[in-house]
A and B are shown apart, each in its own frame.
Chain A
Amino acid sequence: MLKLDAVGRQFGSLWAIRDVSFTVEAGEIVGIIGPNGAGKSTLFNLIAGAVVPTTGAIRFLDRTIDYGKPYHVARCGLARTFQIPKPFKQLSVRENVMLSALRRHHTPRQANSVAMAIMEFIRIGELAEASVASLTVGQLKKLELARALATEPVLLLLDEVMAGLTPPEIKDMMTVIASLPRRGVTVVWVEHVMMAIMNVAERIVVIHQGQVIAQGKPADVSKDPAVVGAYLGEKYAYAAR
């Protein structure tokens, strides 16, 4: 479904991402982890079409992504969330979600019913008429996910959806994400909350200094000495033994 082929991106003289290749099959939940500054965000923006790669190619549904035109990428069925939520501030929660559904469902009324269903699924149905300004961080993150899902994507890119959430909210969110493949949504997920991503993702890609240093099942990756050394730290190294 998604294929990165030797993708690289240079900022000035610095390679934020260098020679990254991996593929994502339909129905997978792929986690991308790496220490701060590893290049996760750049990788994320590359896949979302917001950043143009210096080298290599990204293919989505067997077509090269239209770099630099995120709206075009979105129309092909690839949705993303933002690490810092980017809601439409003057609109209600319902309108925010409805807007995402408008591209496929041409009238606000049809889009509304899609939006309501998705808000129920994410469990923010009762917030429908609230203004965005009144939401908590956790609710904003859920709204961000709802907005991405309302575009009815085949591939969903999640950018640190757990950051700032309370433990019960994290649990909720994990259930939601785990159920996405059953709804026909493939997930690529960048995350810092290890507990969440290690439990939900089926495959983990580890990025370090702009390069892939390991990939595989969460259990295997967390035992990989390169990963432990680069990133996971003593606690997980101990747990892995």
Chain B
Amino acid sequence: MIAGRLSAVSGVQAISLSIAPRRGAVSLVEIAVLASCIIAAAVVSNRYAVDIMIRTFLWAGLALAWNIAGGYAGLISFGHAAFFGIGAYTSTILLLNFGVPPWFGMFAGALIAACAGALLTRVCARLRGPLFILSTLAAGEVVRIAALNWRSLTGGPEGLEIPPVPNVVDMVFKSQWPYVAIIVAYMLAMFALSAWIEQTRYGYYLFATRDNEDGASAIGINPSHTRTAAMALSAATTAIGGTLFAQYFLYLDPTHVISPDISFQFALICAVGGLGTASGPVFGALIIVPLSELLRGLLSQSTSGLHLVIYGIIVIVVILYFPSGVSGAIGRTVSRFFPAGGFAARVQTEKYDAQA
């Protein structure tokens, strides 16, 4: 196995490296993709292209956040828009009413979202599968309706507007570049967090709880705590993405920010990219966001909505025929060319299958 080992910053843990993307290692493919994202960000100077790039990286970071609950812990949530909205609204309300800079406001939002996520997981402690999914959907709707009707706080359906006065303290900029930097930093932080989770005991506790709760209990893992912690972390990081969203678009309203469509988007990006890996959500976002933006640009003159028809069909095809997502497909292809590189596990599995 080529998989090299570098000592990480923490010194406690070693980072595994592999060529092809796989769980439990940072792969050269991922590093190449992330590096080319950053280079592309630095080189491209077309305002439209940079806008697409910012959206893509923001969605990649958000999908990584969703993946902590949905992919690693198996808590498929269709209510994450609520956490996203909590993050966006908390920092914006703090900024508009109390002048608190979003740099701090986002952590307040993250804290509230973490509590909400923990509460939701506790409330739905006995639910699994479809019922859990539907409950998260209902919880998201409760938050949306609350935001829609609590006019004094949220501005109701008219939404909130952040004054477009450039100011570093308020995280409002005239140029796109500071946003690129902030959002790339967010995505990279989420990627690093995911890669870290995959290689530590906490991550393995999540996998165990996801795969078999009784089995996890029997080896000393408290499934309920594990699930709650995963959801809280996922909610908090989603909320931070929400703040960045608010600061980039400078406008919020419940129908667009807390809509179930946002939650579905988080989940579908992960599903298309590959659930439960750090590379999946990044690849998913890199494919889906630019594709739907470009298709929208291409097709908008003729017919609105056609880009989403294509998007829906892509989702169906990928889900049914590439169950481990784009990231899994890339992993298989790359490891075919570099058989020794980090995908030893899979190759060996096939050997045993052949024996049996």
Contact = CB atoms under 8 A, between A and B. Distances in A.
B348 interface: yes
Interface stretch (A26-34, A55-63, A124-132, A194-202): A124-132
A91 B207 contact: yes
Nearest to A89: B211
B211 A88 contact: yes
B219 interface: yes
B349 A134 contact: yes
Interface centre among B199, B205, B214 (most CB of A within 10 A): B214
Interface in B212-234: 212, 214-223
Interface of A: 48, 50, 69-72, 74-75, 79-80, 82, 86-92, 95, 98-100, 102-103, 106-109, 111, 127, 129-131, 134, 136, 147-148, 150-151
Nearest to A101: B219
Contacts of A87: 211-212, 215
B353 A134 contact: yes
B218 A86 contact: yes
Given A109-B14, A127-B352, A131-B349, A151 B201 contact: no
13 contacts: A71-B221, A75-B220, A79-B219, A82-B215, A95-B207, A102-B205, A103-B219, A106-B201, A107-B13, A107-B201, A129-B348, A134-B349, A148-B219
B241 interface: no
Given A71-B222, A99-B219, A134-B356, 11 more contacts: A50-B217, A71-B221, A79-B219, A82-B218, A87-B212, A88-B215, A92-B349, A99-B204, A100-B219, A130-B349, A131-B345
Interface residues of B, number: 31
Contacts of B344: 129
Interface string B283-295: 0000000000000
A158 to B, nearest CB: 12
Given A103-B219, A151-B220, A88 B349 contact: no
Given A87-B215, A134-B353, A102 B204 contact: yes
Contacts of B217: 50, 70-71, 74
Contacts of B45: none
